[in-house]
């Protein structure tokens, strides 16, 4: 059995994508310097968590996988530091928007994406206004440091997510979240 060091980053996020990406990079570098091999960022960390209110202007935050600045930057960083970084982002795919994680392996390649399956809709989390339920199904990726499964936030409350990934061979389950104190 191998030992793997995983770091989970908790950080303040403001409205500036550039500042949040720079802050996340600093935390990733610090975690890697302390031996972390897999480094998990918060859900939708590029901006403040915008899903607590319905605002049509927030649709402009969605970007494709290819154009997303955090994904592009952390592909380079993952390769530089030899770490695995699942990156949560607001994805635009054609005319549809998803809450997505891109799994970046330690060589900087994208192993694949997972789109959030379970989308909450209540007073504090009005995500159905922004996101379509994912179409990827639950997945497991064989990364340099082990087989990881990734769900997103509310997916953790549904046992079929963890069960499906465990059956597929996941050794580590990761769930980036934006859950705070309401």
Active site residues per annotation: 43, 116, 153
Helix (H) or strand (E) holding 150: strand 146-150
CA neighbor of 141 nearest in space, from 179, 87, 80, 86: 86
Do residues 165 and 151 lie in contact, with contact meaning Cβ atoms separated by under 8 Å? yes
Per-residue exposure over 67-86, b if at least 16 CB sit within 10 Å of its own CB, e if not = ebebbebbbebbeebebbbb
Contact indicator for 148, 73 with CB cutoff of 8 Å: no
> Helix 17-33 crosses helix 69-81 at what angle (to 10 degrees)?
20
């Amino acid at each position: 059995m191998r030992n793997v060091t995983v770091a989970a980053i908790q950080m303040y996020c403001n409205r500036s994508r550039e500042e949040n990406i720079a802050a996340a990079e600093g935390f990733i570098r610090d975690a890697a310097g302390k031996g972390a091999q897999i480094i998990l960022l918060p859900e939708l960390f590029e901006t403040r968590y915008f899903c607590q209110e319905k605002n049509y202007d927030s649709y402009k935050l969605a970007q494709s996988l290819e154009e997303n600045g955090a994904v592009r930057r952390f592909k380079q960083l993952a390769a530089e530091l030899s770490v695995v970084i699942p990156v949560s982002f607001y994805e635009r795919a054609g005319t549809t928007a998803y809450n997505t994680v891109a799994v970046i392996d330690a060589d900087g390649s994208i192993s694949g994406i997972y789109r959030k399956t379970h989308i909450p809709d209540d007073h504090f989390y009005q995500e159905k206004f922004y996101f379509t339920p994912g179409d990827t199904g639950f997945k497991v990726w064989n990364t340099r440091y082990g087989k990881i499964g990734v769900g997103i936030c509310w997916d953790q409350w549904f046992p079929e997510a963890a069960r499906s990934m465990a059956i597929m061979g996941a050794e580590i389950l990761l769930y980036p979240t934006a859950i705070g104190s309401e």
